[in-house]
């Protein structure tokens, strides 16, 4: 069993923001597989099989910086080990369109990943980092992640979501090294 967590902030006012890339991928996977979202106390959840593996999709309702609270509860509730956790999130250090898979790596300054690592007491989980690029000039990164994609970025963002979503069944079928070789 896998717990696949898309990180983002709940609420329509955040829906189009760069920081919600994880939610976008989770929504794409749910739609692609015909899964329906249900609300639990700390998250929206959907489930089914991908590549013959039972998977739970999760969108925490705790806001980005407290994502670990929902993840910890759901891991325990579903009996899933951290090594079977896949966290999908935006990444300022990658240009738009880049996807990077990792296992056991640091949080890279991402507060949602930091929250998960701190509450689980480990970094031994999978991450799907999706590039959003850095703001130009001296723009504030915190403000940048809470802005929608603009112009040509929108098309690239949607294409990236589809590729990131496809990397999930590819990982389940072929493993980490394979997705790293094919998506990096």
* Residue listed under structure tokens 């998250």: 43
Residues 43 and 90: their CA atoms lie apart, in Å, by: 19
What band does 136 get if pLDDT is binned at 50, 70 and 90? confident
pLDDT greater at residue 141 or residue 36: 36
pTM (two decimals)? 0.96
Active-site residues, by number, are: 19
Continuous H helices in 79-132: 111-120
Detail the DSSP E strand segments found in the chain. 2-6, 38-39, 43-50, 53-60, 85-91, 99-103, 126-131
Three-state SS at 161: helix
CA–CA gap between residue 170 and residue 164 (Å, rounded): 10
CA distances from 7 to 18, 151, 175 (A): 11, 24, 22
- Whether residue 146 contacts residue 105, with contact meaning beta carbons closer than 8 Å, is answered with no
3-class secondary-structure state, position 22 = helix
Tokens, residue 85: 């956790």
- Closest-CA residue to 116 (of 171, 166, 70, 183): 70
- Looking at residue 139, its pLDDT comes to 83
| Whole-number Cα distances in Å, 152 to 9, 14, 141 | 23, 20, 20
| Residue 95, pLDDT score | 96
Q: What is the pLDDT of residue 66?
A: 97
pLDDT in tens, 75-134: 999 999 999 999 999 999 999 999 999 999 999 999 999 999 999 999 999 999 999 999
d(CA 129, CA 150) in angstroms, rounded, equals 20
The residue count of the chain comes to 184
- Please tell me the predicted confidence (pLDDT) of residue 91: 96
At residue 137, does pLDDT exceed 90?
no
Q: Which CATH number fits domain 2-183: 3.40.50.1470, 3.30.365.10, 3.40.50.300, 3.40.50.1360?
A: 3.40.50.1470
pLDDT given for residue 138 in this prediction? 79
pLDDT digits (tens, 9 = 90+) for 15-59: 999 999 999 999 999 999 999 999 999 999 999 999 999 999 999
């Amino acid at each position: 069993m896998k717990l696949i967590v898309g990180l983002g902030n709940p609420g329509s006012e955040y829906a189009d923001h760069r920081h919600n890339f994880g939610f976008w991928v989770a929504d794409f996977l749910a739609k692609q597989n015909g899964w329906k979202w249900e609300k639990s106390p700390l998250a929206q959840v959907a489930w089914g099989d991908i590549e013959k593996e039972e998977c739970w999709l999760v969108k925490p309702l705790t806001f980005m910086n407290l994502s670990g609270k929902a993840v910890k509860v759901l891991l325990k509730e579903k009996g899933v080990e951290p090594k079977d956790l896949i966290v999908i999130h935006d990444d300022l250090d990658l240009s738009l369109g880049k996807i990077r898979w990792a296992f056991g790596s640091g949080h890279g300054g991402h507060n949602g990943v930091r929250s998960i690592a701190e509450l689980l007491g480990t970094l031994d989980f999978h991450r799907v980092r999706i590039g959003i690029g850095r703001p130009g000039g001296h723009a504030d990164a915190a403000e940048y992640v809470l802005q929608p994609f603009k112009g040509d970025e929108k098309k690239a963002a949607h294409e990236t979501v589809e590729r990131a979503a496809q990397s999930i069944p590819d990982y389940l079928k072929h493993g980490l090294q394979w997705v790293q070789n094919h998506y990096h």
